[in-house]
Chain A
């Protein structure tokens, strides 16, 4: 059935629920096709799996043997993502060492053959061909690896900051007319004539404002929340059912290795120690999850599972300083039987006409690497329902900031920045970094460094509030990595809270409240990874809070 595009003012063609990669991806695609879009996100952009993944834009050699289509589409799309957001991509060279043991010669031979196959997909994503390495090669490339080795292979992948990707997509959608509302939850899916969807009712969780948005099509892109979302329209939550899988990562204060190293966990699963921007990350776990989706936190024993896996081959990880954890829930396709690791990473657009609500579509499954393709498929469905025949242009239109690459050293010189600060700023914003530096030109005081660990300028914080929907210290941190470095926000959270409060017309006391909220939440995320060094840092940050803010305001779980 075709429906008429919206005609009333305030109405839109499509409402997108969810501000992760899929939701922002659909909003952008639809907006680029000229559709009128409204996006509602209940927490913040990239709050769920999108902002808590390893950020690997890979084809996943992991899927090659049982899901070669996933590998092909992912590799193809990885190439597209590179061309639309070159600033956000970083190369992650991988190293897969093979231990010497009975049959390891054959194992290495098989691995070489396997990667021969994977190499065929590499040109799709501008990746390098794999290299077969002997023991000496492996040790030269990564001296920290221990044990007797048969050899190894190196191969090539790309990484991305999932939160920045969501923000960039949302900004582009907005610049093409979309309405983006964060911290705004959909409370009901409205039914029109004949049971078809007619729009949504929403409530802003910060201001309490409520309202409705009429739309003939609604896309449920809420990831692991998908069944909860369909239930808002009295559609059975089984209609969009998933096998939610919790995945956690532990991150360290610096890069521990040159290569991402493939390690084997106690149950034989592969986990990675991966250089990630200016840190190292270990991930990931994959376990069925039955807990609170809005409050998913890693546990000490999950951290231990990861660290011990890496420790067997790269023992110095034990002495390294873990400074935090990420935890997210994958919206994996539902299947009864297989264990978590063997579940398909494919994706599907579910049409809820069969469940009695036509016009409602749920995006289930998928992975970061193929987000753009998934969004294109979902938008094709939306467009065809609206009777539009336009094609997606999201693979050729650069994301904001991705129109050209700027040289960090020249940029640093031109704007009197530390080269490190310039490189980090350009990584996050691409050419949009110029807009941030224009702010500094106008108001030199905004050139102050707010967060010394991850050089973040005051101008960037203000830009995040003005142009990227940041409404709390947590939101600023997600966009800029402020307060997520070694000091855990001890030196910047209060200042950031004051800025956010001032810009959103809240009182300084409310600004301190925002800072405390962030510090409390950040502390809960760090606690499972705490080692000797970090314990002292924690005690110090507690003392610092007491000195300046008082700790009673912090809710402590004891």
Chain B
């Protein structure tokens, strides 16, 4: 049975991985990852500011985290530092991030070096004044380390800085320099500069014998790059076919789905797929877009009545319904359609495809995962879980097609 997974972020990767484990013939189709490439490296199952971290993780989600090289999800929750000086709990983390909880009560050195926009004194002060640090008596101190980067390098983008540490020789030199310090702290906290490849933070920790790691990344930082690298390895090693192109349409033909892409590799003549998992991302990833034609307000469009109320649509043409708060999004709050100011800007994150479980409402063989699901909380582990559920549902449909009874999902 053929399953197409559209989208290369966390949800799509988890779906393709899980579908492949269920022995389906899986094709992963994506141009590039959206929101997942922009993530911070902290892994949550519920949004961290909502103070979640309660339920134990699904064993398949744990298995997926292990399979994905870049991630580290332990039994206890981690605590990571953001570049704006917040110490926040996380269910897991990119393994190059420093887990401050591992050195509770100890001394953490905040590395000061010349990088544009990196202000170690402010960061250390901010981390030290947090409630957690005060409660646990964990200290944060600025430690100046010369020539982590030279003056010219310090002006480069964080991604380029991170790439420099992919070189093992350079990493060894850095470890040697840190080892020379007499006032050795219990852990070293760096900015997001420890490798565009997964595992550089861990490698440095091993060289030094002390926990070393980064703060979280801001959008465009190296955490997303490391996710991309480990995704490609996971899918290729797992025997998933990868097609790098942008999907344009998804059409039903009989019980199958025809997928057409922009690259010419995918055409409607290749027989189609038994099930499709849409993991195309929300507004950040570009899976849901503001409808241009609704924004076009010229006289002709007004006269012909071709304006679409609702204004949002999926970037892939298909028979799915866009909704918010469980209802179809057909509200008109101004002549221009939806007034985002009236809707509330956080609604931007919650607009998506309406589903029942993992099944798109009204399209029984289209399954939906990740940020594109309406009202779905935007977390990495939540996306992984929804990808796995979508794969299970798709596999169950595939078995039904093969004449087996449909298993409960």
Contact = CB atoms under 8 A, between A and B. Distances in A.
A523 B217 CA distance: 23
B67 to A, nearest CB: 24
B341 A524 contact: yes
A558 B344 CA distance: 5
A528 B86 contact: no
A449 interface: yes
B334 A304 contact: yes
Interface in B47-95: 47-50, 82-86, 88
Contact of B35 (A300, A490, A499, A543): A543
A318 interface: yes
B117 A300 contact: no
Contact of B282 (A512, A539, A544): A539
A552 B296 contact: no
Contacts of A490: 219
B335 interface: yes
A548 B218 CA distance: 7
A311 interface: yes
A480 B393 CA distance: 54
Nearest to B131: A509
Interface stretch (A44-52, A342-350, A401-409, A530-538): A530-538
B378 interface: yes
Interface string A103-136: 0000000000000000000000000000000000
Nearest to B289: A532
B345 A304 contact: no
A301 B336 contact: yes
A539 B334 contact: no
Given A530-B340, A552-B50, A301 B35 contact: no
Contacts of A315: 298
Interface in B260-316: 282-284, 286, 289-292, 295-298
Interface string A473-517: 000000000000000001100110011001000011101100100
Nearest to A524: B341
B84 A494 contact: yes
Interface string A439-475: 0000001001110000000000000000000000000
A152 B284 CA distance: 44
A300 B88 contact: no
Contacts of B126: 498, 508-509, 511-512
Contact of B346 (A445, A528, A551): A551
Interface residues of B, number: 55
A536 B34 CA distance: 11
B129 A507 contact: yes
A557 B349 contact: no
28 contacts: A300-B341, A307-B297, A315-B298, A318-B296, A318-B298, A449-B117, A508-B126, A509-B126, A511-B126, A527-B340, A528-B341, A532-B289, A535-B283, A535-B290, A536-B290, A539-B348, A540-B38, A542-B346, A542-B348, A544-B218, A546-B48, A548-B84, A548-B86, A549-B84, A550-B48, A550-B49, A551-B49, A556-B345
A512 B346 contact: no
A448 B345 contact: no
A357 to B, nearest CB: 41
B156 interface: no
Contacts of B349: 539, 542-543
A308 interface: yes
B339 interface: yes
B10 to A, nearest CB: 13
B254 to A, nearest CB: 35
Contacts of A300: 333-334, 336, 339-342
A535 to B, nearest CB: 4
Nearest to A305: B335
Contacts of B289: 532, 535-536
A430 to B, nearest CB: 26
B86 A304 contact: no
A445 B86 CA distance: 23
A329 B348 CA distance: 30
Contacts of A507: 129
How many A residues touch the partner, as a band?
35 or more
Contact of A304 (B116, B119, B335): B335
A14 B374 CA distance: 60
Q: Is the interface of B mostly helix, strand, loop or mixed?
A: loop
Given A523-B345, A532-B292, A540-B38, A495 B119 contact: yes
A551 B379 CA distance: 13
B145 to A, nearest CB: 16
B395 to A, nearest CB: 31
B49 A539 contact: no
List of 9 A-B pairs having minimum Cβ-Cβ separation, nearest first: A558-B344, A550-B49, A508-B126, A547-B40, A539-B283, A527-B341, A552-B49, A532-B290, A548-B82
B17 interface: no
A299 interface: yes
B319 interface: no
Contacts of B219: 490, 540, 543-544, 547
B341 A299 contact: yes
Given A318-B298, A551-B346, 19 more contacts: A304-B335, A308-B297, A495-B117, A502-B122, A512-B85, A527-B341, A530-B340, A530-B341, A538-B348, A539-B349, A542-B345, A543-B349, A546-B49, A548-B84, A548-B216, A549-B84, A553-B49, A557-B344, A558-B344
B293 to A, nearest CB: 10
Nearest to B281: A539
Nearest to B39: A547
B290 A547 contact: no
B347 interface: yes
A490 B221 CA distance: 14
B32 interface: no
A49 to B, nearest CB: 22
A293 to B, nearest CB: 19
B298 A543 contact: no
Contacts of A301: 334-336
A546 B82 contact: no
A231 B14 CA distance: 66
A440 B38 CA distance: 33
A308 B300 CA distance: 12
Nearest to A297: B341
B86 A539 contact: no
Contacts of A557: 344
Given A304-B335, A498-B119, A548-B84, A543 B38 contact: yes
B36 to A, nearest CB: 11
B359 to A, nearest CB: 25
Nearest to B85: A508
Contact of A547 (B218, B335, B345): B218
Contacts of B339: 300, 528
Contact of A548 (B83, B122, B283, B342): B83
B297 A547 contact: no
B86 A512 contact: yes
B194 interface: no
A515 to B, nearest CB: 8
A515 B339 CA distance: 25
A532 B295 contact: yes
